[in-house]
Amino acid sequence: MRTGRNLVITDVRVILCSPGRNFVTVKIVTESGIYGLGDATVNGREMAVATYLREHVAPCLIGRNAHDIEDIWQYLYKGVYWRRGPINMACVGAVDMALWDIKGKAADLPVYELLGGRSRRAIGTYAHATGNTIDDTLTRAEELMGQGFQAIRLQTAVPGLDGSYGVLGDKKDYFELQSDRPLPPEHPWSTRKYMNSIEELFREARARHGQDIQLLHDVHSRLTPIEAAKLGKMLEPHDLLFLEDAVAAENQESYRIIREHTTTPLAIGEIYNTIWDCKELIQNQWIDYIRTAATHAGGITGLRRIADFAALFHVRIAPHGAPDLSPICFAAQSHVDIWAPNFGIQEFVGFGNATSAEVFSHDLKITDGMIHIGDSPGLGVDFNETAAEKHPYKRSYLPVSRLEDGTLWSW
Ligand code: CS2
Ligand code: MG
């Protein structure tokens, strides 16, 4: 269904909903009736993006040509004067993926065809195994291996610390909506207790599950560079696919210290919002995988730019795939994954629950740990506004972390 060069934007709708989690969805409608969808969710700060989109972005889009993706990207990036930042860039990202969706539908082609076509048959993923004990985690890993997953992230509660990252704290998964708590839940942290217990998890994993399975681990920015270097060395015998977010890297130079001490591959980037946040990490080859997500790093345009730059330095993409990214973001980055010559792996924790399936539909399928992308035009996703109305937004915060003496720490 070719529509020619001019595809005037007539409406920009911003919809907040909570089908199990909070999501911010952008729907851009054109005069031809073709519409595009984007995900602008910033976990725990949804009202900020929704207001920014409604009050500041939507009025600037009406009357523009939806085909002009690059110009609109630059207009919302350079044109606002206040460059970068997570709220601004999630809005740029949502608009950008909605415009790619429209362009694909107008061309009657899936977005990956517009990016240059497929580089692979399907998208390799890693799943999550978490548990309160090493045994729980490894039993879960075994189930996932039985389902065909060939790469698994392992997280286990740290003995003596309730609710440490990635496991059920207070019987409530950190992936679930925390709307029954008026303020952020607080979790304790001790680097010493963590460092004394983590190696055993991977030693046991190799003993029980052998060498073929790929193993990963997320430190969630809890360490200093030299502690991370020590951890990387400690885990070397267990051959991780990557160690994620060992250190928060506002100071990108921190990764030089880790890199100089260990051959454990390093990954970072889920909270980055532009190529500038990872420029030094990539060009100095201090990391192996860049984990920027389509929503948070400026959409398909932002992610493609990061992927191309990373390819020059042997860095592969491994986009963030947590459930607080909506299926629209997941689909958008799947189109990049299937195209990118330097794709590494996609994080995958399911396609959401039955309630979210009433609101979001998509043409992705998972078999044997691989995501298969359909050939629907555009992003291959849809959004049911009537179903979304039944699940109104509920305020919910991510947890915070404190050392045992009360000092606020990275969560
Ligand atoms: C995590 C995320 O998936 C990951 O690697 O770090 O689950 C993260 O904690 C959440 O997405 C925060 O919004
Ligand atoms: Mg992470």
**pLDDT 10s per residue in the chain (411 long)?**
556 788 999 999 999 999 999 999 999 999 999 999 999 999 999 999 999 999 999 999 999 999 999 999 999 999 999 999 999 999 999 999 999 999 999 999 999 999 999 999 999 999 999 999 999 999 999 999 999 999 999 999 999 998 777 775 554 555 667 777 889 989 999 999 999 999 999 999 999 999 999 999 999 999 999 999 999 999 999 999 999 999 998 999 999 999 999 999 999 999 999 999 999 999 999 999 999 999 999 999 999 999 999 999 999 999 999 999 999 999 999 999 999 999 999 999 999 888 999 999 999 999 999 999 999 999 999 999 999 999 999 999 999 999 999 999 999
Give the pLDDT confidence score for residue 317 in this predicted structure: 98
**Residue environment code for 389-411, b if the CB has 16+ CB neighbours within 10 A, otherwise e:** eebebeebeebebeeeeeeebeb
Active-site choice (165, 174, 194, 255): 165
| Residue nearest ligand 1's atom 12 by CA | 43
HEC assignment per residue over 34-84 = CEEEEECCCCCCHHHHHHHHHHHHHHHHCCCECCCHHHHHHHHHCCCCCCC
Which residues, 6 or more positions from 19, have their beta carbon under 8 angstroms from its beta carbon? 352, 353, 355, 356, 358, 359, 360, 387, 388, 391
How many residues are given for the chain? 411
Task: Give residue 156 CA to ligand 2 midpoint distance, Å.
Answer: 14
pTM: 0.97
Ligand 1 surroundings by CB, under 6 angstroms? 43, 218, 220, 270, 320, 322, 324, 347, 398
Rounded to 10 degrees, what is the CA torsion of 18, 147, 336, 286? 100
- What the block records as the tokens of 167 is 């496991």
Q: What are phi and psi of 173, to 5 degrees?
A: -65, 140
Q: How many CB atoms lie within 10 A of CB 236?
A: 12
Q: Are 173 and 240 in contact (CB under 8 A)?
A: no
Return the H-helix or E-strand segment holding 299: helix 299-311
Query: Which atom of ligand 1 is closest in space to residue 165's alpha carbon?
Result: 9
Phi/psi for 36 (5° steps) reads -130, 155
Q: Which atom of ligand 1 lies at the shortest distance from residue 321's CA?
A: 3
Q: Which ligand 1 atom lies nearest to the CA of residue 153?
A: 5
Select which of 67, 128, 217, 220 is catalytic: 220
166 alpha carbon – ligand 1 mean position (Å)? 8
At a CB cut-off of 8 Å and minimum separation 6, what does 111 contact? 100, 101, 103, 104, 300, 332, 335, 378, 379
- C-alpha span between 297 and 319 (Å, rounded): 10
DSSP code for 158? P
289 has catalytic annotation: no
% helix / strand / coil in the chain, to the nearest 5?
Answer: 35, 20, 40
DSSP 189-211: E-HHHHHHHHHHHHHHHHHHH-S
What is the pLDDT at residue 162?
Answer: 80
Backbone angles phi, psi at 244, to 5 degrees: -100, 145
Q: How far is CA 336 from CA 11, 31, 119, 250, 322, in A?
A: 27, 28, 10, 26, 17
For β-strands 186-189 and 400-403, DSSP reports them as parallel
Q: 281-285: which pairs have CB atoms within 8 A and are 24 or more residues apart?
A: 281/249, 281/252, 281/255, 282/309, 282/310, 282/313, 282/315, 283/313, 284/255, 284/256, 285/259, 285/313, 285/314, 285/315
Q: Is 272 assigned a catalytic role?
A: no
Q: Cα–Cα distance between 305 and 274 in angstroms, integer?
A: 9
- Nearest alpha carbon, ligand 1 atom 11: 322
Domains of the chain, CATH where assigned: 115-376 (3.20.20.120)
* Predicted pLDDT at 213: 98
Q: Which atom of ligand 1 is nearest to the CA of 291?
A: 5
287 Cβ contact partners less than 8 Å away, ≥ 6 residues apart = 255, 266, 267, 268, 278, 281, 315
Among 49, 320, 329, the mutation site with the greatest number of ligand 1 atoms within 8 A of its Cβ is: 320
Give the mutation target among 164, 324, 326 for probing the ligand 1 site: most ligand atoms within 8 A of CB: 324
Element containing residue 95 per DSSP (H, E): helix 86-107
The Cα 322–Cα 2 span in angstroms is 35
Q: What is the pLDDT of residue 169?
A: 54
The Cα-based distances of 399 to 14, 264, 290, 402 in angstroms read 26, 28, 24, 10
